[in-house]
Amino acid sequence: MPESPALYPPIECYDHGFLKVTDLHTLYYEQSGNPQGKPVIYLHGGPGGGVSAHDRRYFDPAVYRTILLDQRGAGKSTPTASLEDNTTWSLVTDIEMLRKHLGIDKWVVFGGSWGSTLSLVYAQEHPDRVKALILRGIFMLRKSELNWFYEFGGASNIFPDAWDEYIKPIPEEERGDMVAAYHKRLTGDDEDERVRCAKAWSTWECSTSKLFVDPVEVAKATEDVWALAFARIECHYFFNKGFFKTDAHILENVNKIRHIPATIVQGRYDVVCPATSAWELHKAWPEAQFEFTHDCGHSAKEHGTTARLVQAADEYKSL
C-alpha cells in the first residue's frame, strides 16, 4: 500500500541526543520541525518498538516542535532490550526528565497502542503538563485485552494461520498461559531460543496489525535486534501486568484528565487492541473527541487512521 497522502513530507531532525536517566539507561531523543514551535511528543508503541523518521510526519513542521523518544531498551536507547529498572512508572519519570531537559513547559502528547497507554498514564500523573492528547488504538493493558490477543480464543479465531506460527515455539502443555511461557524463554539463558521466540512473538503482532497483511511489516519481525527488544520488553510488561496495582488503573483515574482536550482514533477492525477498549474509554470520557476509522485495523499507517491523526494534530495547532 502506498503511503498516506495526508502525511507531511519527510523531514530531517534538527537536533538529536542522548539523555542519561539512570546509571544504566540512556535514552535517545530527537527534535524536528520548528525549533520555536509548539512542542509535541510522540510516544511509540510496543513497549519496545522504538521510533522512526516516519513518526515525524504527522505534525506540521512549520508549527510544531516535534520530539521523538526511544523508551528504555528500545531503538537507539541503551542498553538494548534491557528489562532491568524498566517499568511504566520509570518511563513516566523519563518523559518528565526529557521535558525539563528540553525546557518545555507544556506539550501535546501523541501515542498509539502502548503509546496510548503511556500517554494516558503520563497525563494522569502530570495533567498540568499536557496541552492535549492524541490517542490511537487504545490499549489499557487489562487482563481481558492481553487474553484477547495473546491467549487462545480471541484474535486466534481471526488469524488462525498466524496463530499457529505464534504458538509453535511453545510446548503444548504450556500453551494455557502463553505470556508466561514466552516470558520464561525470552528471559532465559538460551540465546538461540530467545531469538527464535522473539521473532515468533513479533511476527504474530506484525501479521495482525493491518486490515490487509503487510509483508513489509511482517519482514521487520525477522530482524534479530528489533525483534528481541520488541518481544522481550513487551512480554516483560505484560507478564507484570503493566506494573499497575489494579487491572482498571487507567479507567479508575480518567477523571484526572477529562478537562484536557483529546482526540481518540480507533480502527473499527483493530484485532491487536479491539475497539471495545476505546469504546469503554469513550464512555468514561465523553468530553474527548472519538472516531472510528471504518476501513482500518490497528496500524497508524492505514490511510483512514493516518488522515485522522494528522487532522487531530492540525486541529491542536491553535492551542
pLDDT tens digits, residue range 212-250?
999 998 999 999 999 999 999 999 999 999 999 999 999
- 3 state SS of 297: coil
C-alpha span between 128 and 86 (Å, rounded):
25
- 3 state SS of 80: coil
C-alpha span between 158 and 200 (Å, rounded):
18
C-alpha span between 71 and 25 (Å, rounded):
10
C-alpha span between 55 and 279 (Å, rounded):
25
Model confidence pLDDT, tens digit, residues 13-37: 999 999 999 999 999 999 999 999 9
Residue 270 bears catalytic tag: yes
Assess contact for 101 and 17: CB atoms under 8 A: no
C-alpha span between 253 and 28 (Å, rounded):
30
C-alpha span between 6 and 298 (Å, rounded):
18
Task: Report whether pLDDT(1) > 90.
Answer: no
Q: What pLDDT does residue 43 have?
A: 98
Average pLDDT over residues 197-206: 98
Q: H helices within 209-255, ranges in order?
A: 215-220, 224-239, 249-252
Model confidence pLDDT, tens digit, residues 61-100: 999 999 999 999 999 999 999 999 999 999 999 999 999 9
Average pLDDT over residues 33-62: 98
The pair phi, psi for residue 189, each rounded to 5°, is -90, -10
C-alpha span between 69 and 214 (Å, rounded):
25
C-alpha span between 60 and 310 (Å, rounded):
9
Model confidence pLDDT, tens digit, residues 91-149: 999 999 999 999 999 999 999 999 999 999 999 999 999 999 999 999 999 999 999 99
> For a pLDDT cut of 90, what percent of the chain falls above it?
98
Q: What pLDDT does residue 145 have?
A: 98
Residue 113 bears catalytic tag: yes
Among the listed residues 270, 277, 282, 299, the single catalytic one is 270
Mean pLDDT of all residues in the chain?
97
Residue 209 bears catalytic tag: no
Residue 185's contacts (CB-CB under 8 Å, 6 or more residues apart) are: 169, 170, 193, 194, 197
Q: What pLDDT does residue 2 have?
A: 84
Local confidence band at 264 (pLDDT 50, 70, 90 cut-offs): very high
Amino acid 46 reads G
Among the listed residues 25, 183, 282, 298, the single catalytic one is 298
Task: Report whether pLDDT(297) > 80.
Answer: yes
Q: What pLDDT does residue 310 have?
A: 98
Say whether the peptide bond before residue 10 is cis (omega within 30 degrees of 0): no
Among the listed residues 77, 113, 116, 207, the single catalytic one is 113
